[in-house]
Amino acid sequence: MSSTDYAALVKQDRVHTALYKDAAIFEEEMERIFKNTWVWVGHESELPGANTFKKSFVGNQPVIVTRDKAGEIRTLLNRCRHRAASVCEKKKGKQSVFVCPYHGWSYDIDGGLRKVPYADGYPEGLDREEFGLIKLRTEVYQGMIFATFKEDIEPLVEFLGPARKWMDLFMKQGAGFGVKVLGEHKFRFPGNWKIQLENTTDAYHFPIVHKTFLDSLDAETENIFDVIGSGGWVEDLGHGHSVMVMIPDLIDLDENLDAPIPDRFAELAEELRAEGHDEDAVRKIVRAVGGTGFNLNLFPNVACSMAFFRVLRPVGVAETEIQHVAIGMGDARTTPSPAGNRARLRLHEHFQGPMGFGTPDDAEGWERVQRGARAGDDLWIMLNRGSEAPEGRPQPGHNAGDASSEVGMRAAYQQWKRMMTA
Amino acid sequence: MSTATMTETAISLDEATRFIWAEADMLDRLDYKPWLPLWTRDGCYTIPVEHETQDFENQLNVAHDDEEMRQARVKRLLSGFSMSAAPPARTVRTVSRFVVTGEGEGRIDLRAAMVLVEYKYERTRVLAADVTYRLVREEGAIKLDRKVVRLANCDDYLHGIGYLL
Ligand code: FES
Ligand SMILES: [Fe+2]
């Protein structure tokens, strides 16, 4: 089998292990996928005002995401137009100019070339218009910022399609205050990026891999996390996107606000009252504090997962970086609840990050996949689980299966195949 | 303590050093059960994400454990059901370069350097950290009241860590 016959490597219910370990395939993915689609680069709240920026990546290319004085958000390649030095090595911050440290070319926050030292050394003159930082097309939906190298791609909202409904629902965890980034964990694992991509809608592993997390919860919460037996489902949303509903009761956080406050949140509710929130707001915050009951996977690199964004960055064929971006309540117009956000942070620390009760076990599982994939030459990754979805739950016309089905992975690999063979 | 006094005697650097080395030895041997009672009831074990922060409550941490979370963490690591901790990585750590930053009645604050080498799966990794300790004397015994492990690369990417720092 030729390693470039991409169509032959992806069948309806299985994919070839070459997809995890062939370096040539990885290089092609960077071109055909990551340079040809909308890629998540950040959240609006990370650019809290005029002249703010953050570093990010589109595929494996470093970029700076900026907000100018007028509020416009841009994605700029982090590469000086003179001799390619990176112009920004701060994670995030506030400044209106980027000065290249090598020969001093300076750029405005919108990427325009501002000044060139000793410019008369270019006797023929230098067209400053021509040498601004390279801009990528950038669009925002629900505060999530996406960029693309592909100028003529469809608008972001079309690319998201039916996934937008789930993004709208996801942002309800702001409890009316809006959603903002509180912090992030970053970690790497020695394995291919698609192993992580698969994981976001893989409920099948949850009770096995995360047994020690489940054991650390009180009985009531442990029940809620019985994600396989609770009537949830996985749904193909098109364009490689999928949603896995784990806790159907927590799909819409605006519903069931009259339900009694669970015991485990009694203390938080008291703190919220002490902060001055009325009873309606207290109930809203308490209901939103653990996030939504689903994971939304947006092909190729970001997921909205319960109470955080999960971002993947392909580093090499067998090296992937993951960010778990903790989100809480509050935006530029509102005063967030410190107690509510503290609760979010502690919940995030409990599961996520390099020492969470969940993440290291996921990372170990993913590494095991990469190590095991070395065995055998012509073996396949099975993605054929898929019993029927609960009656009437998924959107009619969508391909769906129960919570432990592998529908989401099949959706992602079909998109992979479309893009790799286009 | 041979004499019961109203005031707790100060903790010497020598006592503190022995205590910290004994703790490091426990952690490398995965001897987590006796590690738990080394702590005061309100003791706080923190591994921040932001390098300069002091406000651990309102920021994201790698770990920010009270007594309940420490117990849950130890239970998890020793359960045999955590893929990342069974089998565990082997670790060898040294703690040194002690500087006393504060002293009081029955209390000492120190900072120190820790270098930890981890081995698992044909691979050796190094973690470096500045660690601050607050040790207090409770009924004669020295206890950990605060331990903040500031990894040199805390705000950069890490790997899954299936053991205690
Ligand atoms: S490389 Fe940036 S000014 Fe020369
Ligand atoms: Fe998981």
Q: List pLDDT tens digits, range A137-148.
A: 999 999 999 999
| Number of Cβ atoms within 10 Å of the Cβ of A114 | 15
Q: Do the Cβ atoms of A33 and A416 come closer than 8 Å?
A: yes
Q: How many residues does chain B have?
A: 165
Confirm or reject contact between B124 and chain A (CB < 8 A): no
Per-residue burial over A402-417, b if 16 or more Cβ lie within 10 Å, else e, is bbbbbbbbbbbbbbbb
- Indicate whether A1 pLDDT > 70: no
Return the exposure string of B46-56: e unless at least 16 CB atoms fall within 10 Å of the residue's CB, then b. Answer: bbbbeeebeeb
Residue A4: pLDDT over 80 = no
Query: Cα separation of A44 and B128, whole Å?
Result: 34
pLDDT, residue B1, reads 44
Q: Any idea of the CA torsion for B4, B8, B10, B15, to the nearest 10 degrees?
A: 60
Compare CB distances from B157 to A188, A341, A348 and report the shortest one's residue: A188
Strand B123-138 relative to strand B107-120: parallel, antiparallel, unpaired? antiparallel
For chain A, helix (H) and strand (E) counts, in that order, are: 14, 20
Question: What is the distance between the alpha carbons of residues A135 and A387, in angstroms, rounded to a whole number?
Answer: 45
Alpha carbons A217 and A222: distance in angstroms, whole number: 6
Average pLDDT of chain A to the nearest whole number = 95
Distance of alpha carbon A241 from alpha carbon A146, whole angstroms: 15
The pLDDT > 90 percentage for chain A reads 90
Alpha carbon separation from A326 to A157, B80, B104 (Å, rounded): 24, 29, 38
CB atoms within 10 A of CB B99: 11
B-chain residues within 8 Å CB-CB of A348?
A: 60
Please list, in sequence order, all residues whose beta carbon lies within 8 angstroms of the beta carbon of residue B130, skipping any fewer than 6 positions away: B111, B112, B113, B114, B150, B152
* CA–CA gap between residue A86 and residue A63 (Å, rounded): 9
**B39-48 and B141-151 as β-strands: parallel, antiparallel, unpaired?**
parallel
Tens of pLDDT, residue by residue over A68-100, are 999 999 999 999 999 999 999 999 999 999 999
Q: Residue A196 C-alpha to ligand 2 middle, in angstroms?
A: 9
Is the shortest distance between the CB of A20 and ligand 1 below 6 Å? no
pLDDT, tens digit, 9 for 90 and up, residues A268-308: 999 999 999 999 999 999 999 999 999 999 999 999 999 99
Ranges of residues in chain B with a pLDDT under 50 are 1-5
The verdict on whether omega for the bond into residue A314 sits within 30 degrees of 0, i.e. cis, is no
Residue contact B84–A360, C-beta within 8 A: yes
Q: What is the mean pLDDT of residues A163-178?
A: 97
| Residue with CA at minimum distance from ligand 1 atom 3 | A103
Neighbours of A84 (CB within 10 A): 11
- The identity of residue A24, as a single letter, is A
Indicate the pTM of the whole model. Answer: 0.95
| B67 interfaces chain A, CB cutoff of 8 Å | no
Provide the pLDDT confidence category of residue A251 given band limits of 50, 70 and 90.
Answer: very high
- Tokens matching residue A273: 């009252």
Instruction: Report ipTM (2 d.p.).
Output: 0.93
Q: Is the distance from CB of A292 to CB of A255 less than 8 angstroms? A: no
